[in-house]
Structure 1
């Protein structure tokens, strides 16, 4: 027997964090995605145990400024693509610079230095993953998906989709439909 699951990783991470913070008796406040404000002092042994407990779920604590900024950048991009009805109408470089209080040039250079990839490439990958999810859900047309993800046209979405996955969105839809029909 196979189970097919659909899940929201952001929600799952929030629930795990809430459960672990309560388990360790930590007074906290969940801030933006990937950020928790601890109220008061956190004893070293409790922090070590919390770190180990979170590591079990693939959640790591980030301790240096550069890595923290990179993780915040990724979190903002993921939040922007997955949790917003539509991507912001301002350009993404301005949006990131405003949210992170750093120049886009600094953020972009640091991102490339640490991840060996560009912010633009990370955004494309996330947008295509979101497009795949929306296609699988089957609630929107390709035109609606391209609009939600701020593509100038379905053709632009299709070109990036094919370049990233090797398939056109229509081919991907057919594969998903064929799999659903054989169940």
Structure 2
């Protein structure tokens, strides 16, 4: 049985979910961003209790197919940008479409209707959050960050960064701003 969870965007969330399952005596096969795989069905009461316990931590057990698809899109983007060593070498729309097995236009329309933001803008927001982290780590130059994040040029990265944050990358770095946006709020 597969369970889908909203707002499960970090390793800490995965650990919290695993803890909750252990407390409830529910065995699991795998826990990934937004997904729990358990070997057998759980009862309605177990599902309700798990849902209530997860909700206290800001996580939500999902039931409807469109919400599950939205979470799959979000988690794929988060995993792709924040947890992969390399961004996919292909266009994001092709990558997302192939990974989820749906036409990209269909995915984009559902995502925009339910989240009130385009998939493209959602990706940009997450890329900028990753650029902020990389700037604060101070291990890569802006040119290296631009290359790593698949921007066509440093100028393109700088323009997008300024549109999203109101700062240039160098101003942001000089101010040494802390990352203030949680991934589930991007």
Both proteins in one fold, TM over 0.5 = yes
> What's the offset of the Cα at 1:32?
3.8
Structure 1 match to 2:130: 130
Give the alignment of 1:44-55 within 5 angstroms. 44-55=44-55
Q: Deviations over 1:73-127 (max 9, x none)?
A: 0000010000111211111111101111101011011111111110000000000
Question: Rg bigger for which structure?
Answer: 1
Equivalent pairs, count: 169
> What's the offset of the Cα at 1:57?
1.1
1:110 aligns with 2:110: yes
The runs of 5 or more residues in structure 1 that have no matched partner are 1-8, 178-183
Q: Deviations over 1:135-183 (max 9, x none)?
A: 1121211111111111011111100000111000000011018xxxxxx
1:147 aligns with 2:150: no
Deviates more, 1:147-156 or 1:164-173: 147-156
More relative contact order, 1 or 2 (CA 8 Å, 6+ apart): 2
In the superposition, the TM-score normalised over structure 2's length comes to 0.87
Structure 2 match to 1:57: 57
Q: Is the 8 A contact 1:27 1:39 kept in 2?
A: yes
> What's the offset of the Cα at 1:31?
4.8
The runs of 5 or more residues in structure 2 that have no matched partner are 1-8, 178-186
Q: SS of 2:123's equivalent?
A: helix
Structure 1 match to 2:100: 100
Structure 1 match to 2:183: none
Counterpart CA distance in 2 for 1:22 and 1:35 is 16
Q: SS of 2:176's equivalent?
A: helix
Structure 2 match to 1:166: 166
1:86 aligns with 2:86: yes
Counterpart CA distance in 1 for 2:61 and 2:105 is 26
RMSD (Å), alpha carbons: 1.2
Q: SS of 1:26's equivalent?
A: coil
1:13 aligns with 2:13: yes
Counterpart CA distance in 2 for 1:137 and 1:49 is 40
Following TM superposition, the consecutive aligned residue runs of length 4 or more in structure 1 with deviations greater than 2 angstroms are 29-32
> What's the offset of the Cα at 1:10?
1.3
Structure 1 match to 2:157: 157
